[in-house]
Chains A and B, each alone.
Chain A
């Protein structure tokens, strides 16, 4: 954990490079990590044609380059007998195709493999930026990016549903099978609201909130270790530092898990859109 970077991201410096959590008056004399750390709008790295390019935007561009670069190397001229990165990328491809697309949609899921594949690695890379030394910021903790993806998922499954069922897709969305008519009066509005309007936001917020909270936890423990080293001594500082390490390891797991959940939910929404009307 690079504290100088965190401190720089925090926007406020703790009094000329001498960080101190507790001031003379017993209150905060220094800014603890907060949601403020996720606001980059007032501190762009550089400007392109008047637009201030912030850290998350640079990271998104970096993800585009990394992802295309890696899979271009693996899949541009694929060999019958795979070598090097092609092996790894094939495992990833088969995982998305077999475990995600086919398990939820069957053979017709093959059509959506490119979407799910791009989605999975895009989300995972956004998450894993939290772990890369010198970057240490999960792009997905900026809500706009998960939301953009969730809206695209929404468009995709709505389109697939109306393509398959026509206007009958409203029935698929709003009328669960085997529910008595009386209950449908209450249930259908809830189902329609849930499946059409709330879904994209829950999908985006689930990812965002997980990464946001995880990053905040690590930042808090790291800052705590740093501050307490000067005031409370090695024991408190060490405990906090240990927690920062533990949480970083835990986050590494969460990053992959959240990317998996995001794509699995997408696949299940698509499966719901493609299933036969009942």
Chain B
């Protein structure tokens, strides 16, 4: 047995020493106070701010998204309205156009009919006037011509009248036949 073995039996490991108790307590209290008053409030504040920042950022993003969605919806609605409007206007214009065309066509037709009718009446009148004028002239000319050719005056007024009328009728019939042949052609 050495002296160390005897010493070991004298040392009691679970007998606390006053100086170490005090030093341990002070050491812990120094650490505790610095953590309690300074360091942990710092990090707590930072963590709270970070939470705020993240939540705030998320909220802002959500708001922006909602605003964008609303804008998109409004745009879409406007676009749809505009399309409707455009379609309506186009339809209207088309109807109006068709109406105008029909109206114009009717008016043109009427005008043309009027023109044709007027021209025809004029032509008829002219032809009748010409014909009556020619009829008088032709009788006189024919008599004059016949008197000159025959060289004698026609004694019988009644006979004369009959001859002229017959001649004119023949002439007319001939002109009609000619006109008919021309129209037929």
Contacts and interface: CB of A to CB of B under 8 A. Distances in A.
26 contacts: A12-B2, A34-B4, A35-B11, A35-B13, A38-B11, A41-B17, A71-B35, A72-B39, A74-B43, A75-B40, A75-B43, A79-B46, A90-B43, A93-B47, A114-B32, A114-B35, A118-B36, A141-B13, A144-B20, A147-B16, A147-B21, A147-B24, A148-B22, A149-B24, A149-B28, A212-B13
Interface in B47-64: 47, 49-50, 53
A1 interface: no
Contact of A152 (B7, B19, B25): B25
A67 interface: yes
Given A41-B17, A145-B20, A64 B27 contact: yes
B148 interface: no
Interface stretch (A55-63, A167-175, A190-198, A247-255): A55-63
A118 B35 contact: yes
Nearest to A12: B4
A59 to B, nearest CB: 10
A36 B40 contact: no
Contacts of A159: none
A89 B43 CA distance: 9
Given A11-B4, A60-B23, 9 more contacts: A34-B8, A38-B13, A64-B27, A68-B31, A89-B43, A122-B27, A144-B21, A148-B25, A212-B13
B81 to A, nearest CB: 47
Contacts, number: 120
Interface in A179-200: none
B36 A114 contact: yes
A247 B16 CA distance: 27
Contacts of B27: 60-61, 63-64, 122
A119 to B, nearest CB: 8
Interface residues of B, number: 37
Interface of B: 2, 4-5, 7-8, 11, 13-17, 19-25, 27-28, 30-32, 34-36, 38-40, 42-43, 45-47, 49-50, 53
A78 interface: yes
B23 A80 contact: no
A161 B13 CA distance: 32
A144 B21 CA distance: 5
B19 to A, nearest CB: 7
- Of residues B5, B11, B30, which shows the largest number of chain A Cβ atoms within 10 Å of its Cβ? B11
B13 A143 contact: yes
Contact of A144 (B24, B38, B46, B50): B24
Interface string A110-126: 00011101110110000
A273 B47 CA distance: 28
Contacts of A118: 28, 31-32, 35-36
Given A76-B42, A80-B49, A28 B2 contact: yes
Nearest to A205: B14
Contacts of B5: 31, 34
Given A80-B50, A114-B40, A118-B36, A143 B31 contact: no
Contacts of B49: 80
A67 B31 contact: yes
Contacts of A41: 17
Given A34-B8, A142-B20, A148 B46 contact: no
Interface string A198-215: 000000010010001000
A78 B20 contact: no
Query: What 3 A-B pairs have minimum CB-CB distances, sorted nearest first?
Result: A144-B20, A148-B24, A114-B36
A152 B28 contact: yes
Contacts of A113: 40
A68 B28 CA distance: 11
A51 B34 CA distance: 26
B20 A57 contact: yes
B98 to A, nearest CB: 71
A30 to B, nearest CB: 9
A203 to B, nearest CB: 13
Nearest to B29: A152
Given A39-B11, A143-B13, A78 B43 contact: yes
Given A35-B8, A79-B46, A51 B21 contact: no
